[in-house]
Amino acid sequence: MFQNKRVLIAIGGGIAAYKICEVVSTLFKIGVEIKVILTNSAQKFITPLTLATLSRHPAYTDENFWQSTHFRPLHIDLGEWADLIVIAPLTANTLAKLAYGMADNLLTNTVLASTCPVLLAPAMNTDMWEQQVVQRNWEQLLTDNRFHGMCTGSGLLACDRVGAGRMAEPPEIITYVQSLLHTTGKRDLLGKRVLISAGGTREYLDPVRFIGNPSTGKMGLALAQAALHRGASVTLVHAPASWDVPLGVQAIPVVSADQMRASMVEYLPSADIIVMSAAVADVKPREYSQHKLPKKSLPQALPLEPVPDIVGELARLKQSHQQLIGFAAQTGDIVTPALEKLHSKNLDAIIANPIDEPDSGFGSDHNRAIFLDQQGQRIEIPPCSKLEMAHRIFDFLENK
């Protein structure tokens, strides 16, 4: 997916610069060609030699600004070379320059000499980040569709302040880079509200025992990331999971099918696209014990009752302008039961994916599937990462 993709990483002066080593190393390992620019301030925190070693290319500084390559200015060559520019950490100083179109170093000149998407990962002290002038510059810069801004995190900063301004972590930056390389920066979901369910619900018999399934929610997480990176406002209703919800996504944690149903119905009216990727339990114990049952007291035959049909209820409640997409995780023949669910539940589309194939299904970082819709489309999605599958799903929906 990333062969022949070219990313230029521009590093500003801040302690978060050390985190970019992981970004450069990981992107190189997945096949992305990387070049790096460091500002003079960035070199106080990390050396060009380190980045050159990780990227397998020279790391450029302002000393190279007037260096010509094939008799062309370096900033022109770099700007035309890049499929994507990542500026991380983005300092208040560089932000102000970009907001006003200033170009007084290699980084800012290269941005002005390019036309590709630019991903911004700001990092600064909380008081600096919250200054009215900084927020004004940030909002002004993001009015240009070239620029994609990452939310800052909150926590203990290097200045010992606890608050907003922490740079997004390397895995989040890497995922956003992958998304932008797929979409080439388009925001086809801008102004849309996307509601996603994720993970496997748990139906408890007592405080320690439950009926569940192996779903980790990774597919729902990837859908949330993809929708966010394409400009959507995203609400993620998720069962217990071991991953962190991406910055910028509204998270609604739930446990049981009843709780998931209540949240999905609550947020349904404001959604434009609803993706039901959660693995909801089919049944639950008829009775719940407030205290752990002794092993000898466990029933030989466990009385069960069905849980709510969430996707069926959403289909009955949805409006004509809304799109409802379901998932069907199956073994063996995945198409026949998926088509039956598509029509019986009156879904707009369904994703049939095998859980008995290598490196796909529950718990895997990869998946494969067949996209089916009410118009009779049948599109196979070959083995790929779950993030790529999420983007392919939104690609299909865009073309419907």
Q: Report the catalytic residues.
A: 159
Residue with tokens 């000499």: 113
> Which residue, among 317, 341, 313, 316, has the nearest Cα to 328 in the 3D structure?
341
SS3 331: coil
Q: Do residues 368 and 360 touch, judged by C-beta distance below 8 A?
A: yes
Instruction: List residues forming the annotated binding site for CTP.
Output: 282, 292, 308-311, 327, 341, 345
Report how far residue 12's alpha carbon sits from residue 91's, in angstroms, rounded to the nearest whole number: 6
Pairing of strands 233-238, 250-253: parallel
Q: Do residues 199 and 120 touch, judged by C-beta distance below 8 A?
A: no
Report how far residue 254's alpha carbon sits from residue 238's, in angstroms, rounded to the nearest whole number: 6
Could you tell me the two tokens for 35? 């070049």
Could you tell me the two tokens for 325? 């997409």
Residue 281 makes CB contacts below 8 A (sequence gap 6+) with: 200, 201, 202, 203, 211, 212, 213, 256, 257, 307
Which residue type sits at 4? N
Answer positive or negative: Cα dihedral of 353, 358, 361, 364. Answer: negative
**Backbone φ, ψ for residue 293 (5° rounding):** -80, 130
Answer positive or negative: Cα dihedral of 383, 388, 390, 396. Answer: negative
SS3 140: helix
Query: Helices (H), strands (E): how many in the chain?
Result: 13, 22
Instruction: List residues forming the annotated binding site.
Output: 282, 292, 308-311, 327, 341, 345
Report how far residue 183's alpha carbon sits from residue 61's, in angstroms, rounded to the nearest whole number: 30
Q: What is the CA radius of gyration of the chain?
A: 24
> Which residue, among 199, 320, 188, 322, has the nearest Cα to 267 in the 3D structure?
322
Q: At what angle do helices 170-183 and 218-229 cross, to 10 degrees?
A: 60
**Backbone φ, ψ for residue 59 (5° rounding):** -95, 125
